[in-house]
Amino acid sequence: MQQITSNPRIKSIIDDDLSKLLDKKEVLNWKSPLKKDNNYSEHRLNSKESIKLLFGNVQEASESFKTFWPQQSPVWDGIAVSNERDLFLFEGKSHKSETRTSTKAHNGEHLINQSLSMVASKFGVTYPNVKKNWEGKYYQLANRIAFAWKMKEMLSITSAKYNNVYMIFLNPTLTSYFA
C-alpha cells in the first residue's frame, strides 16, 4: 500500500479502475498509510486519531465503537476518501492463504464474537457457520466485513457525510508491475 499512496502513477491507475468499476469519477484522497504519518503507519478505525480524521466527533464515534469491538481493532492497510465523499477501506492480500486466519484475541473475545454474530445475521449467516467460519478459519476476512458494516452504520449516527463505504481487497504484489 505504501507504493500506491506514494506513487502518482499507481494512484492514477487505482482512481481510473475504481471510476470504471463504480461508473463515476473517483479520485482518492489517501488518509493512510502516508509517509508523514509515522513513516507509513496504518490505522485502527477505532483509534481516536482515525475517528477524528474520518468522523470529526470523537466522543460520539468512540462510544459506538466501545460497544462493538475491543480497543485492539483490525489494522487497515489503506484508508481513503474520494471526491464523491465515498469511504474506501483497503486490505492487501498477496495470497489466498492470508484470508484464512483464526482470532488471536485474548482480551475482548466475547465482544468480538458477539459483534461478528450480529453482523453475520445481517447477511443471513447462521450460527454454526459463524462459529466455524467467521470466528474460526476466516476470522480476518470476517472482521473486515464486520468493520465495513460498522462504518456504514456509523454514517447514520455521526455527522460524517460519506455516501458509501467500500471494502477493497488488493493484491499488493501487482503494484510492482507499475513501479
pLDDT of residue 140: 83
SS3 of residue 75 by DSSP = strand
What is this structure's pTM? 0.77
Tell me the longest C-alpha to C-alpha distance in the chain.
46
pLDDT of residue 178: 42
Cell 479502475 sits on residue: 17
pLDDT of residue 156: 67
pLDDT of residue 8: 82
As a three-state string, the secondary structure of 59-127 is: HHHHHHHHCCCCCCCCEECEEEEECCCCEEEEEECCCHHHHCCCCCCCCCHHHHHHHHHHHHHHCCCCH
pLDDT of residue 179: 42
Q: Tens digit of pLDDT for each residue in 88-112? A: 888 877 777 777 777 776 678 889 8
The DSSP call for residue 73 is: P
pLDDT of residue 107: 77
CA angle 71, 89, 43 (to 5 degrees): 40
pLDDT of residue 63: 79
pLDDT of residue 138: 83
Residues of the chain with pLDDT under 70: 37-38, 40, 56-58, 105-106, 156-161, 170-179
* Cβ(90)–Cβ(1) below 8 Å: yes
As a whole number of angstroms, the distance between CA 8 and CA 82 comes to: 15
